[in-house]
Chain A
Amino acid sequence: MRNRILSLIRKETLHIFRDPRSLYLAVGLPVLMVILFGLGITFDVNNVRIGIIDLDNSPLSRDLAFRLHASSYFDISSHETVYRGMDQLLDEGKVKIVMVIPPQFSRSLNSGRDVKLQLLTDGSDSNTAQIAQGYLLSLIQIFSVDELSEELNRLGLLATAGIPPIQLESRIWYNPDLRSSTFIVPGLIAVVMMILAAMLTSLTIAREWENGTMEQLIASPIKPIEVIIGKLIPYYILGLLQTSLVIGVGILLFGIPFKGSLLLLFLASSLFLICSSGIGIYISAATRSQQLSFMLSVILTMLPAFILSGFIFPISSMPRVIQGLTYLVPARYFLTALRGIFLKGTGLSVLWPQVLFLILFAVGIMTACTRKMTMRLD
């Protein structure tokens, strides 16, 4: 039995090395993906283009505009003093938010009347819209409080000016610089591993069916489990290599911390690789067609990896049904484990549920693969 598996591993390794293009891609793709995602996906909302229509043109309104200008969150793209259709500005796509300061702004406030400030936000990108709007509201609120306290102070009704009665003091744990990359990169590792492992393994068995070599193989006494292990091991090693590269890039390029146990990382990664490869092998064995296998594996791993794992989009915000689905996705558990190991330094005592699920899934998918690999043509 061991002899057969060794023969298979040797053969599979030869295949991998005899196709240098695929090998380079297998190594280059993960690195590329980490760099791209790490740099490209930032949910830090900065430089939101805002348009101000200032119909008051008073020192106060200019103060407000200045506040916005000084904030790194906003980029004042357009500052007009004449009325224009707000929606028109948004239509043209030059700004994402429009704020209108009404005429008599300053005078009304000084006479003790409350003034409405109209804001119109481009909702196409709902995430950015929410965040940007939130920033703006916060900024205006703080400005309002400051102005009010100044006024009250001037009138002797308040002891000190410019100090809001209630101050918020924030402390951030684990990622004091609040870098997106810290959040994203561990998730990236999971996503990249999942997609690549499934993609590569999904082709391997289907390819043997397509070009007929599987026929020869099944005419021999080889058992399904031997074929699967023989295919799994070389790709597992390749997967470990890819993972190390991705982690290396993550730490070197993005400076993400590593507080946890290397052994636990190795354990969790190995389990996850088996799960992902298992999915690829299953699809491969079920479809016996390279085209179909590839497309299905991309769809069946990309979707769960990106969306259902908690990689970018928080699971708690999803509809209940979908939240339920995420419990079936190995990437979700691996992600939790990764974030814990990298950022919080948590160990097995906290992460045992995740590890347990991964073990169960790995065993399950391998069993399913063994059943699916019938050593027959039909």
Chain B
Amino acid sequence: MFQAVRHLIRKEFIQTFRDKRMIIPLFIAPVIQLIFFGLAVTTDIKNISVAVLDLDRTLQSRKLISAIEASPSFDLNHHAADYDRIDELILRGKIQAAIIIPQDYEKDIKRNIQTQIQLIADGTDANTATIIMGYIGQLVAVQSENVLADLRQIGIGGIMMPEPRIWYNPELKSSVYMVPGVICLVLLLTTLIFTSMAITKEREVGTIEQLIVSPIKSWQLMLGKTIPFCLIGLCDVALVLLAGKLIFSLPTKGSILFLFLVALVFIVTSLSLGLLVSTISRTQQQAMMTSFFIIMPAMMLSGIFSPIDSMPRFIQYITYLNPLRYFSTALRGILLKGNDLAVLWPEILVLLLFGISFFIISSVRFRKYLE
């Protein structure tokens, strides 16, 4: 009974790897994607180019300038002479912000008159502009505090000193965040796109007729077509994890076995989707584009690239329908926090539900499609 399946699996492997170049997108590309996402995607904001226009040139103003220079977030490489220069620098995109220290800065501080630091930021990149405002705001607040602290005497005016610590990813490496994302992307690409294309190719070329008239049952054909890509997908997960560990020292706090089990549950869903796509596509081009049409929203609305919390409310509700959301949460939880079933059971449950329902739908449709 399973012999037919075994043969089908073997045929699929032979066909897929007949063209040895297929190794590139199937095995090498995931690792390359990981490397790029991990290295290039540094969302740590560093070296923001800024300019200072110091109209005061006093000890006090230089204190502020030193604070800016000392900050790793900023690259103070322009000391502007006048407003026009600042205009030009921003227009040409050479700086993202300019800090202007007014003329009587030190004098006003000594006289306890409120003085103002002006910040001009290029709002094109709203994200960075917000961060700049936050950081400069903090620097200015610290200067304020220092001014006040000079006024206090023993026994009055304590200062609050926040002691921040980062948990799970103390070096704030974005690679840590990205790896689960890359795993998801790679799995989706492999299992969804390749499965749908493989079946559609047979239809395009005509060899599927041969299979239909043979005594092979639809479930055997289904397994024969999906198991190879399931295996390749799991292989990719292992590759990405290994590369992550070796190149980025990816933490693996939780149980790897558990991770693979979760991946397996997710793969059932994506494979089923692949089958579904193949039943509605006549050509490989259609299969590819339809798969892409599914993958795009799945990736964007999953919390992989940008946090769900920051999305508009109604979009957040939509993400509840996205199996990728639960899968990425589970992946992150296992890898970075060491979560186990006790914590992740809601996500696993939802994934199981998705997997089973998609599987049933696609099997029914596939059987109809073969007839």
Contacts and interface: CB of A to CB of B under 8 A. Distances in A.
Interface of A: 19, 21-22, 25-26, 28-29, 32-33, 36-37, 39-49, 86-87, 90-93, 96, 108-131, 133-138, 140-145, 147-149, 151-152, 155, 157-159, 163-176, 178-180, 182-183, 199, 203, 207, 211, 287, 289-292, 294-296, 298-299, 303, 307-308, 312-314, 316-319, 322, 336, 339-340, 343-344, 346, 350
B134 A182 contact: no
Contacts of A120: 164-167
A308 B40 contact: yes
Nearest to A167: B116
B180 to A, nearest CB: 9
A308 B14 CA distance: 36
Q: Closest 5 interchain pairs by CB?
A: A175-B123, A123-B169, A127-B43, A295-B25, A109-B158
Interface stretch (B31-39, B224-232, B236-244, B352-360): B31-39
Given A173-B121, A314-B128, A138 B289 contact: no
Contact of A48 (B48, B161, B173, B309): B309
B368 interface: no
B123 A173 contact: yes
Interface of B: 19, 21-22, 24-25, 29, 32-33, 36-37, 39-49, 75, 90-93, 109, 112, 114-131, 133-138, 140-145, 147-149, 151-170, 172-174, 176-177, 189, 193-194, 197, 201, 204, 281-286, 288-290, 292-293, 296-297, 300-301, 305-307, 309-312, 315, 329, 332-333, 336-339, 343
B134 A112 contact: no
Contacts of A298: 189, 292
A143 B160 contact: yes
Given A41-B306, A317-B43, A166 B172 contact: no
Given A112-B157, A133-B164, A350-B92, A29 B312 contact: no
Contact of A319 (B39, B49, B172): B39
Contacts of A183: 124-127
Contacts of A33: 296
Contact of B119 (A111, A168, A291, A340): A168
Contacts of A49: 309
A136 B162 contact: yes
A140 B162 contact: yes
Nearest to A100: B163
A165 B135 contact: no
Contacts of A126: 43-44, 169, 172-174, 176-177
